[in-house]
Amino acid sequence: MPESNEPKLSLSGLTQQQLTELVCSWGEKPYRARQLWSWLHVRLAEEIDAMSDLSLALRTRLNDICAPLRPQIAAHRLSVDGTQKWLLTLADGQTIETVLIPEEGRGTLCISSQAGCTLTCPFCHTGTQGLARNLKTAEIVDQVLLVRSELVRCGSPHRVTNVVLMGMGEPLYNYNAVAKAVQILLDGNGIAIGSRKITLSTAGVVPRLLQAGRELGVNLAISLHAARDELRDQLVPLNRKYNLATLKQALQQYPLKHGRRITWEYVLLDGINDTDDDARQVARYLTAIPSKINLILFNPWSGTPFAPATPQRVENFQHILHQAGYVTVIRDRRGADIEAACGQLTGLLQGTRPRPIA
Which residue from 48, 62, 96, 124 is in contact with ligand SAH, where contact means CB under 6 A? 124
Q: Catalytic residue among 117, 121, 124, 342, which?
A: 342
Cβ proximity to ligand SAH: between 35 and 294 the closer is 294
Minimum distance from residue 107 beta carbon to ligand SAH (Å): 18
Which residue from 242, 298, 317, 326 is in contact with ligand SAH, where contact means CB under 6 A? 298
Binding to ligand SAH (CB under 6 A) within 313-352 occurs at 344-345
Which residue from 35, 137, 291, 299 is in contact with ligand SAH, where contact means CB under 6 A? 299
Distance CA 298, CA 296 (A): 6
Minimum distance from residue 246 beta carbon to ligand SAH (Å): 16
Distance CA 152, CA 45 (A): 11
Name the segment binding ligand SAH (CB under 6 A); options: 55-63, 199-207, 247-255, 315-323.
Answer: 199-207
Name the segment binding ligand SAH (CB under 6 A); options: 45-53, 119-127, 129-137, 152-160.
Answer: 119-127
Cβ proximity to ligand SAH: between 69 and 238 the closer is 238
Cβ proximity to ligand SAH: between 28 and 265 the closer is 265
Binding to ligand SAH (CB under 6 A) within 145-174 occurs at 166, 170
Q: Under rule CB under 6 A, how many of the chain's residues touch ligand SAH?
A: 19
Minimum distance from residue 170 beta carbon to ligand SAH (Å): 4
Residue 170 is a catalytic residue? no
Residue 97 is a catalytic residue? yes
Minimum distance from residue 147 beta carbon to ligand SAH (Å): 18
Residue 90 touches ligand SAH, criterion: CB under 6 A: no
Name the segment binding ligand SAH (CB under 6 A); options: 7-15, 45-53, 277-285, 298-306.
Answer: 298-306
Minimum distance from residue 259 beta carbon to ligand SAH (Å): 23
Nearest to 236 by CA among 287, 275, 273, 188: 273
Binding to ligand SAH (CB under 6 A) within 208-227 occurs at 223
Distance CA 184, CA 190 (A): 8
Distance CA 143, CA 88 (A): 8
* Contact string (CB under 6 A) for ligand SAH, positions 229-268, x = contact: ------------------------------------x-x-
Active site residues per annotation: 97, 342
Q: Which residues bind ligand SAH (CB under 6 A)?
A: 119, 121, 123-125, 166, 170, 201-203, 223, 265, 267, 296, 298-299, 301, 344-345
